[in-house]
Amino acid sequence: MRLSTRSRYGLRALLDIALHEDERPVMLREIAEREGISKPYLEQLILALQAAGFVSSIRGKKGGFVLAKAPSEIPLIEVIRALERTFSFVDCIDNPQTCPRNVHCVTKKLWHRLKEALERELTGLTLQDLMEWT
């Protein structure tokens, strides 16, 4: 499985906010500079993170972004689900109609088990865990 830049950059942006919001709300420009993410792309990611309820915006001269929940209440699986179109190693797991061999596929069970294992791992990890790893 390969996660898209949406998940990789989105997680980095969320972690950046978590690590810097104690000072003041974090501005988009600051995240973009620190994380090496283009500002237009970062805007899209932040909108998705806002829609999922992970970040809030504060308007005004001293505005920016803050976490909408405590880092310990943000499971990484939910962040990735908010940012990814699909979450499988192969398309046929989430959309069986994509493969004509789906009914007789020998490896389908393997892909399904790997997806479940990864989901379990990511469900048990939170943004707080990432903060502690820095």
What local confidence, expressed as pLDDT, does residue 71 receive? 97
Strand 55-58, strand 64-67: pairing: antiparallel
6 CB-near residues (< 8 Å, 6+ apart): 45, 48, 83, 84
**pLDDT of the residue at 74:** 97
pTM: 0.86
The tens place of each residue's pLDDT in the chain, 134 residues long, gives 567 899 999 999 999 999 998 889 999 999 999 999 999 999 999 999 999 999 999 998 888 999 999 999 999 999 999 998 777 777 777 777 888 887 888 888 888 888 889 889 999 999 999 999 98
Contact 44, 53 (CB under 8 A): no
pLDDT at 123: 93
State the pLDDT at residue 102.
76
Q: 30 is in which domain, residue-wise? A: 5-133
> Which residues, listed in sequence order, are joined to residue 65 by a DSSP beta bridge?
26, 57
CATH code of residue 111: 1.10.10.10
| Structural contact between residues 93 and 108, judged by C-beta atoms closer than 8 angstroms | yes
- The number of domains in the chain is 1
CA distance 55 to 57: 7
